[in-house]
Amino acid sequence: MKKVALITGASKGIGFALTKKLLQENFFVIGTSRSGNIEGVEDENFYALQLDISNTESIKSAHEEIFSNFKRIDLLINNAGIGPDLGMQTPEKESFNQTFDVNVTGLVFFTEPLIELVNENGIILNVSSKMGSLAVCESTDSIAYRMSKSALNMYTKILSNRLKNNIRVATIHPGWVQTTIIESNLENARLTPKESADNMFDFLTSEFESGAFWDSETGTDLLW
């Protein structure tokens, strides 16, 4: 029986690369996007799902569709995220609220009802960033983005405590990846989405300890 993975933000970038990788590794993949359309994936083991993770009604509709069509999830990857203030030196209220609506609030309230579907010995992986690490922060920019990833890291720790000995939960830094979250990444970032997805898959198939904060680019633990 194929393992079932659910990936948010699967239409582009890291989420799209993870979708392709998991399909290659014989998973059945549920992939979400705001439009519900994911171009470039044509596979009988793929299910496209409409989800605007910043919208409460969209989350509710997605839950109804998931629970109606699937009995279990083996792997939940919370990948969807935004960074409209990346590079900005001061906070701006609208983008600040948008960032938390997607990266924190939406993620938490999308995840919570799905926990009962995650198999015992399943995995919840939260895609964070080393920019959310308190220990290594020496910068003054990207306030909302950094704070949102710190909050996500705390959610990982709380879930790992709650689900101890049942479901493994981890936070992962995908590396500096060539994605459109900020335009300069397309030229300057070190990793392609495929390279990042391959590194993340290596972590997922390892014997990692629940509650980990992992740098998939260097293959090492990160400081909180």
For residue 176, the model assigns a pLDDT of 85
The Cα 17–Cα 200 span in angstroms is 10
Residue 179: Cβ within 10 Å count = 22
- For 138-180, write each residue's pLDDT tens digit: 999 999 999 999 999 999 999 999 999 899 999 999 998 999 7
Closest CA to 30 of 17, 42, 40, 19: 19
Buried b (16+ CB within 10 A) or exposed e, 207-222: ebebbbbbbbbeeeeb
**Edge-to-edge strand ranges of the sheet holding 73-78:** 46-50, 28-33, 4-7, 73-78, 118-127, 168-173, 212-215, 220-221
Which strand (E) or helix (H) includes residue 29? strand 28-33
For residue 120, the model assigns a pLDDT of 93
For residue 57, the model assigns a pLDDT of 98
Q: Which fold has domain 4-221?
A: Rossmann fold (3.40.50)
Residue 117: Cβ within 10 Å count = 18
Q: What is the pTM of this model?
A: 0.96
The Cα 42–Cα 212 span in angstroms is 34
For residue 82, the model assigns a pLDDT of 97
Q: What's phi and psi for 217, nearest 5 deg?
A: -75, -40
Q: What is the mean pLDDT, run by run of 10 residues, along the chain of 224 residues?
A: 96 97 98 95 96 98 98 98 96 98 98 97 97 96 98 98 96 92 77 96 97 97 96
For residue 183, the model assigns a pLDDT of 72
Q: Could you state, in order of their start, the residue ranges of all structural domains in the chain?
A: 4-221
